[in-house]
């Protein structure tokens, strides 16, 4: 689908009738120039076009000199003053540029793209949220360590499209890859001075251009058109395999930083309009990154909407995770507004009607934590789910070791298993909650069970960076050990948390590498580490292969059993197509009493779920979560037939055959373990 169109209302460059039009927004500039650059020497200006201001604060020019393949820059002049950042000697990135060339750390220019691409009839998978399993991955880190790939494509967009990558994702049951930021970003000068880079990419400089560093050397050499084609190829091939592509997008701030930051684009075009400031020019920063885009300005809302439409249509992206999304919905007084025009525009836009819209429902500003307060159109990252699962399986066990008592029982865990109705009681039901135990930010799963404290020394900040409150538990020794007993306990804890995640009501998200026990050596803030420390490991030990096989088996159970992926909050009486039957039992096979619900020492929870579909087909499972380091005798609750044991987390490998047990029969449950039964 080519980029060219006949619209004269679109910002950026449009091509039409053998010529092109450039349109740029600035409410405060006094002049804007379009410079046609020599492709071989961008310091040479071949043509200058002076843009004319319209009544809507859009500056425009039309010329045959604007054509596909043209290299260009913008320059703007304007008033001095605390709120302004004009400098007509600086080449600026067009906010709507589809192709950007980085010449050096401070020098960039734009390229007009044709955008043509053959999608070969491949369409978006459109996987329902109820069947979605999200795999949060770094576009480079996922494949950089895979030595089975050709050296020239490891860690690139091309590697995402490679059959070996897709085979891995399909085998473990992933339905959607959520890529950490791939919109063009740069590293902060502070990191570069330390010899580090911004590896995660939460420092966007252009909202329309794929990050060039993730392209193959051949595509980089060929230029922005080839980089875009390589990215589109990755999306197409993942779609061909039935795997959706979601993007982690950072619209809350830009890489221009705070008042002392460098000027690349927005600041030089209209600092006063794009960024939230007071009259003295002080930035109102709710992101911790130096600036915040001003979403009380309709033109900022328009910019983000145009970017989302572009990625959804031209790049065929299936959905988005919005970083620090509270900032996107702050009004003119800097307060969060659930009815904000930005949220309303996304919710009602026909282009985004099928896109998955996932928010990180917080920022660092006043009133920033808004989990559960976004409109129904959005699914929300659930940090309460993360903390509850970690506490139950890890921190509470550490507390028992230290004090002899558990800090919490099963009530909060049951709420999370059932879909977090206390947080997302809206039209989406449990699917309003995106459940996760780990994410890119924080300990990976292996380190969560191996370290009591963070070890971030290689980040160059004296171990001061990163979260100190991780609810982790090293099981008796810090870091990697040779003790077979400790390692076995750690692996079982990992299996318990993966099982809990995949069988909770809501949308599960797993971090790439957790399915194969990736470690970051205790670093819980590896944002600046583009090394094997952050890359997914591909040379697996037997224990890692066993874990991956277990994970693949668990996703298979989730697919095959509707009662393990609830889409409603359920009821206590009967199963209907609209509402599952959900009952909670103690280890004695009896309905939990009020006292047991609130007893911190009650550490065994049985969840029975019976699902009935529109055809009357039943699916019933029983999940047992035993969070105590002592084995117990379990009495199975009633069912119409037998309970068939289909998974036991005490085993290193998935079951080869199932054992059947009568209702009310007893069996031994091992320490800190999870079991899943299916009614037969």
Q: Which of 560, 585, 605 is the last residue of a domain?
A: 560
pLDDT of residue 260: 86
Residue 319, domain extent: 133-257+290-384+422-442+453-461+506-560
Q: What would the two tokens of residue 546 be?
A: 């066993």
pLDDT of residue 24: 98
Q: Is residue 623 part of a domain?
A: yes
What would the pLDDT profile of 431-468 be if each residue is shown by its tens digit? 999 999 999 999 999 999 999 999 999 999 999 999 99
* 532 plus 593 within the same structural domain: no
Identify the band that residue 3 occupies on the pLDDT scale cut at 50, 70 and 90: very low
pLDDT of residue 8: 38
Mean pLDDT of the chain: 96
Q: Is pLDDT of 143 > 60?
A: yes
What would the pLDDT profile of 163-215 be if each residue is shown by its tens digit? 999 999 999 999 999 999 999 999 999 999 999 999 999 999 999 999 999 99
* 435 plus 375 within the same structural domain: yes
CA distance 133 to 608: 22
CATH value at residue 143: 3.20.20.80
* 628 plus 534 within the same structural domain: no
CA distance 652 to 543: 8
* 664 plus 521 within the same structural domain: no
User: 468 CB contacts (<8 Å, ≥6 apart)?
Assistant: 453, 454
What would the pLDDT profile of 316-364 be if each residue is shown by its tens digit? 999 999 999 999 999 999 999 999 999 999 999 999 999 999 999 999 9
* 332 plus 191 within the same structural domain: yes
Please provide residue 605's backbone torsions phi and psi, each rounded to the nearest 5 degrees. -135, 130
Identify the band that residue 7 occupies on the pLDDT scale cut at 50, 70 and 90: very low
The whole-number average pLDDT for the span 109-113 is 98
* 513 plus 604 within the same structural domain: no
Q: Is residue 604 part of a domain?
A: yes
Q: Is residue 535 part of a domain?
A: yes
* 530 plus 657 within the same structural domain: no
* 643 plus 522 within the same structural domain: no
587 is catalytic: no
360 is catalytic: yes
For 341, what's the count of Cα atoms within 13 Å in the CB-facing half-sphere?
14
The structural domain count of the chain equals 2
pLDDT of residue 635: 97
* 171 plus 302 within the same structural domain: yes
CATH value at residue 651: 2.60.40.1180
Taking the model in full, what pTM does it have?
A: 0.97
Residue 453's CB: how many other CB atoms inside 10 A?
Answer: 14
Q: Which of 560, 583, 600 is the last residue of a domain?
A: 560
The whole-number average pLDDT for the span 356-376 is 97
CA distance 415 to 22: 54
pLDDT of residue 9: 55
CA distance 116 to 225: 9
Q: Among 33, 244, 323, 363, which one carries the catalytic annotation?
A: 323
Q: Is residue 343 part of a domain?
A: yes
Q: Is residue 313 part of a domain?
A: yes
CA distances from 29 to 26, 37, 208, 268 (A): 6, 22, 23, 9
Q: Is pLDDT of 4 > 80?
A: no
**Could you tell me the maximum CA-CA distance found in the chain, to the nearest angstrom?**
85
Residue 656's CB: how many other CB atoms inside 10 A?
Answer: 6
Q: Is residue 534 part of a domain?
A: yes
Q: Is pLDDT of 478 > 90?
A: yes
Helices (H), 205-292: 217-222, 224-240, 266-274
* 322 plus 426 within the same structural domain: yes
* 547 plus 593 within the same structural domain: no
* 529 plus 664 within the same structural domain: no
CA distance 168 to 579: 35
Q: Is pLDDT of 1 > 70?
A: no
Give the strand pairing for 356-359 and 319-322: parallel
Q: Among 237, 360, 530, 620, which one carries the catalytic annotation?
A: 360
pLDDT of residue 88: 96
Q: What would the two tokens of residue 532 be?
A: 């094997």
pLDDT of residue 6: 33
Q: Is residue 592 part of a domain?
A: yes
């Amino acid at each position: 689908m080519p980029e060219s169109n006949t619209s004269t209302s679109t910002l950026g460059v449009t091509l039409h009738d053998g010529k092109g039009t450039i349109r740029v927004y600035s409410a405060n500039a006094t002049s804007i120039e379009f410079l046609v650059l020599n492709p071989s020497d961008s310091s040479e200006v071949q043509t200058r076009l002076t843009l004319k201001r319209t009544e809507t604060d859009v500056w425009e020019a039309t010329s045959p000199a604007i054509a596909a393949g043209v290299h260009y820059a913008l320059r703007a002049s304007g008033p001095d003053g605390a709120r302004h950042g004009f400098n007509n000697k600086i080449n600026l990135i067009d906010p709507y540029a589809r192709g950007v060339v980085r010449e050096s750390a401070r020098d960039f220019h734009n390229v007009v793209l044709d955008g043509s691409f053959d999608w070969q009839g491949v369409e978006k998978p459109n996987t329902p949220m109820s069947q979605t399993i999200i795999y949060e991955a770094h576009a480079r880190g996922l494949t950089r360590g895979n030595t089975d790939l050709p050296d020239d494509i490891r860690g690139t967009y091309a590697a995402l499209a490679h059959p070996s990558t897709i085979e891995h994702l399909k085998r473990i049951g992933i339905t959607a890859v959520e890529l950490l930021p791939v919109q063009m970003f740069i590293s902060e000068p502070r990191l570069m001075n330390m010899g580090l880079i911004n590896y995660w990419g939460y420092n966007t400089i252009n909202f329309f251009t794929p990050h060039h560093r993730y392209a193959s050397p051949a595509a980089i050499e060929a230029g922005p058109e080839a980089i875009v084609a390589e990215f589109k190829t990755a999306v197409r091939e993942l779609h061909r395999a039935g795997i959706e592509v979601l993007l982690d997008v950072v619209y809350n701030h830009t890489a221009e930083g705070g008042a002392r930051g460098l000027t690349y684009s927005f600041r030089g075009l209209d600092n006063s309009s794009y960024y939230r400031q007071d009259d003295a020019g002080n930035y109102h920063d709710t992101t911790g990154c130096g600036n915040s885009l001003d979403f009380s300005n309709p033109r900022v809302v328009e910019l983000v909407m145009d970017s989302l439409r572009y990625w959804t249509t031209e790049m065929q992206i299936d959905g988005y995770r919005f970083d620090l999304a509270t900032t996107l919905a702050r009004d003119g007084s800097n307060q969060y507004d659930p009815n904000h025009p930005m949220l309303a525009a996304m919710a009602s836009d026909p282009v985004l009607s099928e896109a998955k819209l996932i928010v990180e429902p917080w920022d660092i500003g006043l009133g920033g934590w808004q989990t559960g307060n976004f409109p129904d159109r959005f699914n929300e990252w659930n940090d309460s789910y993360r903390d509850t699962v970690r506490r139950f399986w890890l921190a509470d066990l550490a507390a028992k070791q230290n004090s002899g008592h558990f800090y919490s029982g099963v009530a909060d865990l049951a709420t999370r298993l059932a879909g977090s109705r206390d947080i997302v009681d809206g039209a989406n039901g449990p699917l309003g909650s995106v459940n996760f135990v780990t994410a890119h930010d924080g300990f990976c799963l292996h380190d969560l069970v191996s370290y009591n404290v963070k070890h971030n020394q290689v980040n160059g900040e004296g171990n001061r960076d990163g979260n100190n409150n991780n609810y982790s538990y090293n099981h008796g020794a810090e870091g990697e050990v040779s003790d077979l007993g400790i390692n076995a306990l750690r692996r079982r804890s990992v299996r318990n948390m993966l099982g809990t995640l995949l069988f909770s009501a809501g949308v599960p998200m797993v971090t790439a590498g957790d399915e194969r026990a990736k470690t970051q050596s205790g670093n819980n803030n590896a944002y600046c580490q583009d090394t094997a420390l952050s890359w997914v490991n591909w040379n697996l030990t037997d224990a890692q292969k066993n874990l991956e096989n277990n994970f693949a088996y668990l996703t298979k159970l989730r697919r095959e059993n509707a009662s393990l992926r609830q889409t409603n909050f359920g009821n206590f009486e009967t199963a209907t197509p609209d509402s599952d039957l959900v009952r909670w039992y103690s280890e004695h096979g009896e309905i939990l009493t009020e006292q047991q619900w609130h007893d911190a020492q009650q550490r065994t929870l049985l969840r029975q779920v019976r699902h009935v579909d529109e055809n009357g087909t039943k699916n019933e499972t029983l999940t047992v979560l035993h969070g105590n380091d002592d084995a117990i005798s379990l009495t199975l609750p009633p069912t119409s037939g037998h309970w068939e044991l289909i998974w036991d987390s005490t085993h290193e490998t998935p079951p080869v055959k199932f054992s059947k047990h009568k209702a009310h029969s007893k069996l031994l449950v091992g320490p800190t373990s999870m079991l899943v039964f299916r009614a037969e």
